[in-house]
Amino acid sequence: MKKLNYSGFTLIELLIVVAIIAVLATATFVALDPLKRFRDSRDAKRWSDTSELMSAIKVNQVDNGGNYAQAIRDMNPGDVYMITDGIVTSGCDDQNGICDAEVTNDSYCVNLGELVARGYLGKIPVSPNGEGDWSSSLTGYTLTASSSGALVITSCEAENATNGISVTR
């Protein structure tokens, strides 16, 4: 009688390999925590946007002999304004439930479209949507001016940044 020699894997061996791959994939997925990575990515965008806005405001100030753009000069010191591109479709404080630095009043918008028109910004940045629903009329960024001339730009949302997202100059 002739003995047949089959080469290959047994069912048990295949099941063990599949189980090992499943355990490794699960461990990798849990270790990477994709939800946290998405939140970190949105926070990084917010940090970048607040810095970009502040830099554009300050460069414009230097180019204009120390004077801020007219919209910033018209602000009341200490009050919090929602940054817009000039197209306001609803009240500027509509997202106050989300905004840590609450907009002072429904009409407190500051139109920084002048910075775009003069080439300091390509467009007014809009915060990535997390809990809020941000748009060009409600950007998710606020601006406060002190009586001494210091400006504070704050992001209304900070998903993983424990101390919030704010730039002061």
Q: Are strands 109-111 and 141-145 parallel, antiparallel or unpaired?
A: unpaired
pLDDT at 149: 87
- Measured distance CA(169)–CA(150) in Å, rounded: 5
Specify whether the CB–CB gap between 97 and 103 falls below 8 A: no
* 95-132 per-position pLDDT tens digit: 777 876 689 888 899 999 999 999 999 999 999 998 88
- Measured distance CA(25)–CA(21) in Å, rounded: 6
Q: What is the pTM of this model?
A: 0.82
- How far from 20 is each of 15, 27, 33, 41, CA to CA, in Å? 9, 11, 20, 31
Specify whether the CB–CB gap between 70 and 115 falls below 8 A: no
* 6-15 per-position pLDDT tens digit: 778 899 999 9
| Segments making up each domain of the chain, as ranges | 38-168
* 29-48 per-position pLDDT tens digit: 888 888 899 999 999 999 99
Q: Is the dihedral of CA 39, 44, 50, 56 positive or negative?
A: negative
